[in-house]
Amino acid sequence: MIGITAYGGYVPRLRLSRQAAAQANAWYAPQFAGRKGTRAFANWDEDSITLAVAAARDCLGPATARDRTGVRALLLASDTLPFAERLNAGVVAGALALDEGIEALDLGGTQRAALSAFTQAVARVQAGGGDTLVLAADNRRTRAASAQELEYGDAAAAVLVGTQNVLAEYLGAGTVTADFVDHFRAAGDDVDYHWEERWVRDEGIARLVPRAVQAALAQAKVNAADVAHFIFPTTFAKMDAQLAKACGLPAESVVANLNDAVGDSGVPHGLLLLAHTLERAQPGQLIVLAQFGSGAQALVFRVTDAIKTFKPARGVAQWVARGVEEKHYTRFLAFKGQLALERGMRGEQDKKTALSTAWRHHGALQALVAGRCEVTGSVHFPPSRLSYDAKPLQDTQKPYPLADRAARILSWSAEYLSWHPAPPHHYGQIDFEGGGRILMDFTDLEVGEVDAGTPMEMVFRVKDIDERRGFTRYFWKATPLRGDVKA
């Protein structure tokens, strides 16, 4: 049996109020005045790589609690990867401390890239290639006062494909590859160009998706009437219900799209809704997941009894519930890189990254691995060959991961003196349970939310961006621990 053995997702904490955005642009685009709800948007220090890492950690759980050596491949699907030539999936693998012997690949070019990644993962597992982690993430940019600005959302999803303790058995797939262009973005451009909505809905989605679904049902050898959950990401009202009817699927099987709280996250949205569905799915239920883009693709799953034995670290429901409404439209624009704010002289810095140094310390920097002295038990970050305790000791340190360990604030500061994309700049000394202390940046918090002793957790984020050379540097940051996290 091959299928999903673990799943997870991630939705950024910030949620733009659609009403606030509509009001800000009412002088130019009054037609959006009635829009309600929120859409998720990434913090300034989040991109598709960091979103994918967050979803993967939700899926895999803490490295201290689950062995990750069984993951033998990582497929990252996205249409908004930050690097055109640097293996984005390799950065993710490093942050997750996966074995360097795994295969890592980037995929994109279509909204259904995540589903294609899944079928590739199944083929790899069938060939004996070991468990494969499928990740999908998007952080899309739009034009101000556009429909897409209100409809889109940023998010990520993860599923682990394997043969042991399968939660949802993979039964079959159907694919239609057709160069039906509903939107496109040329290389070097930031924003998609969209074609007329009625044409896309009636001649594209309505004709191509049913073909993929019917082919998937036929390969899976299941009846449409027996499907319990039908997932189809769409921003068109009742389009999913229309497709369900056309395919003979029960009307009550249509899964809510999370559009009111999250928005349409693009490539990851199908897997995000699948992860959300698996949180409440019952053994024996059939799930059909379809997605449109350069044709269409559909997957069929049967939930197994093992579904009761697994829970993600947080799960999509918790990520959605922890959202904070943002009514400052200019903050959204600034975090998306669409509004240049005054930085002052303190913001004038050359942030060239020494690539040789980054490689020498990549274990510590990417995966937040310290060194623990086997003689004294003291923890050092960054790790080194020398331990300075009662007396210097050489080559006594062993790798000691910190990213998933409990931590608290020892001391902290919040200041406006230096330039920061989200002032005030919060940072402080973090003490880790079991040893280790690091001066770290804080993120995803409000003024007054932290104090000495506040429990914190680690998140993988953008450290800074070398805008002159186009290089992004990543590191870990501390954020207040919110909600229950599965150990």
pLDDT one-digit tens code per residue, 2-15: 999 999 999 999 99
Q: Are strands 183-184 and 193-194 parallel, antiparallel or unpaired?
A: antiparallel
Closest Cα partner for 474 from 74, 57, 88? 88
> DSSP letter string over 22-78?
HHHTTTT-GGGTT--SEEE---TT--HHHHHHHHHHHHH--TTTS--TTEEEEEEE-
Cβ atoms of residues 264 and 257 within 8 Å: yes
Structure-token pair, residue 345: 């002289």
Judged against a pLDDT cut of 50, whether residue 487 lies above it is answered with no
- Compute φ and ψ for 397, nearest 5 degrees: -90, 140
Q: In which band, very low, low, confident or very high, does the pLDDT at 348 lie, cut at 50, 70 and 90?
A: confident
Instruction: Please give the residue that has the higher pLDDT: either 369 or 350.
Output: 369
> DSSP letter string over 394-442?
ES-EEEEE-TTS-EEEEEEEEESSS--SSSSEEEEEEEETTS-EEEEEB
What local confidence, expressed as pLDDT, does residue 468 receive? 87
pLDDT one-digit tens code per residue, 425-453: 999 999 999 999 999 999 999 999 999 99
Q: What gap in Å lies between CA 430 and CA 436, rounded to an integer?
A: 8
Query: How many helices (H) does the chain have, and how many strands (E)?
Result: 13, 24
Structure-token pair, residue 289: 């997941």
H or E stretch covering 117? helix 113-126
- Per DSSP, the three-state class of 366 is helix
pLDDT one-digit tens code per residue, 123-166: 999 999 999 999 999 999 999 999 999 999 999 999 999 999 99
What local confidence, expressed as pLDDT, does residue 484 receive? 63
In the CATH scheme, what is the code of domain 3-335?
3.40.47.10
Q: What gap in Å lies between CA 205 and CA 201, rounded to an integer?
A: 5
pLDDT one-digit tens code per residue, 62-77: 876 677 889 999 999 9
Residue position matching structure tokens 């350069």 = 294
Domain ranges in the chain with CATH number 3.40.47.10:
3-335
What local confidence, expressed as pLDDT, does residue 350 receive? 82
What local confidence, expressed as pLDDT, does residue 123 receive? 98
Q: In which band, very low, low, confident or very high, does the pLDDT at 486 lie, cut at 50, 70 and 90?
A: low
**Architecture of the domain whose range is 345-368+403-480:** Beta Barrel (2.40)
Domain ranges in the chain with CATH number 2.40.50:
345-368+403-480
Structure-token pair, residue 115: 């589903």
Average pLDDT value for residue range 410-435: 96
Q: What gap in Å lies between CA 126 and CA 253, rounded to an integer?
A: 30
Q: What gap in Å lies between CA 416 and CA 427, rounded to an integer?
A: 12
What local confidence, expressed as pLDDT, does residue 485 receive? 60
Judged against a pLDDT cut of 80, whether residue 78 lies above it is answered with yes
